[in-house]
A and B are shown apart, each in its own frame.
Chain A
């Protein structure tokens, strides 16, 4: 199993978010919601840099043509450039992995937008939240503390 925020974990994330939420997750919500999600996904041109503050690293996810065109870890000494830069503490990443709700992760500001156009970001917030839940569910070794 890959380590959290390792290159192999980023590769697993790429496959998982490209595939999207599981059938089980989809079954709990209306088709019209997923149609909207798919519409957003198909036309989403932006990139996310999702940070883990303690590591000073970011998971970079670039979207284009309905798929992930680039997914990798950006280290502390590498240039950081993304449409939206967001930050989260390690304990909140771990909680997300252990099943904490992605919607509340946003709403309770466990993950916050550090750079990027806020109103544009929220036009695709359902797509972001569902993708965040998928990222959290990717199997990885999460140490007790960092």
Chain B
């Protein structure tokens, strides 16, 4: 972590071109080497294949190569950084942002299995791998909150209970919606329109926009300050996993719209609800201690959403464009 670039530098630099060597470094790094990978490169890597999306078997094969062991991480230096080097303001901002992910990972882990039922056989492989990824990410945050933040609990839910006071009230909008959409799929697993609506919430909004934004905020802070090496390593590896999830999700949505162009209405209707409830926040999160302003976080959100929509070829109607201008950041993900 020698480079100490400002967390928000990428907003001014814009999209970057990745060399073949950089792509190889991202794809092939074993867990200890992930510490040296730049998070901005990994986020760029998420978008690299969005224009020519890989098939599900390719994504599954990547998963087999990139799978990492969450129990290999050593959080002892992170604990020292947390207790002795970070300021109280930094800790409070960090935990306010990270708690949305702590709960988000659990949510996307348990809501995904039902989507597998109506999927093609190849996509089932990819989804099965993704469920395992999400379970591993849940353990990652459980370990971080126990071993670094110091929350206590007899089991995973007890630690989730302990971090819940930091979760914003607006968290229920994307994750409650996903839970209810999963219920809809449980009853009608082959309803393609319900699957597209679910996919819009899960893959486009939660993973493509919310998750990548929160990753960027906390990881660029850790890289900038040279703190929390195990968090940086595990969460950057998580981001690499997310690249497969986002690419698979965008592949699904793109295929669905190509097969039936009226499916765009399901995507728009879902975004209409999500954007409508995303225009408000219930509590103020202070990003400044992490090197960000509210406007920069909002710009990051827009950038993430625009790139997904543009690369996959999904346009927005004028009313959705209006709603988009009012969106406030909810830092959560999965």
Contact = CB atoms under 8 A, between A and B. Distances in A.
A21 to B, nearest CB: 11
Contacts of B279: 36
B183 interface: yes
Given A119-B272, A125-B277, A109 B169 contact: no
B171 A118 contact: no
Chain A interface extent, by class: 20 to 34
Contact of A129 (B167, B169, B272, B276): B169
Interface in A63-119: 101, 103-104, 106-109, 112-113, 118-119
Contacts of B282: 29-30, 33, 126
A144 interface: no
A33 B179 contact: no
A32 B169 contact: no
A122 B281 contact: no
Among A106, A107, A123, A125, find the residue whose CB has the most chain B CB atoms closer than 10 A. A107
Contacts of A121: 180
Main secondary structure on A side of the interface with B: helix
Nearest to A119: B273
Contacts, number: 79
Interface of A: 28-30, 32-33, 35-36, 101, 103-104, 106-109, 112-113, 118-123, 125-126, 129
A122 B272 contact: no
A118 B182 CA distance: 11
A38 to B, nearest CB: 11
B273 A103 contact: no
Given A29-B282, A107-B179, A126-B277, 10 more contacts: A36-B279, A106-B172, A106-B180, A113-B183, A119-B270, A123-B276, A126-B173, A126-B280, A126-B282, A129-B169
B107 to A, nearest CB: 7
A83 B273 CA distance: 17
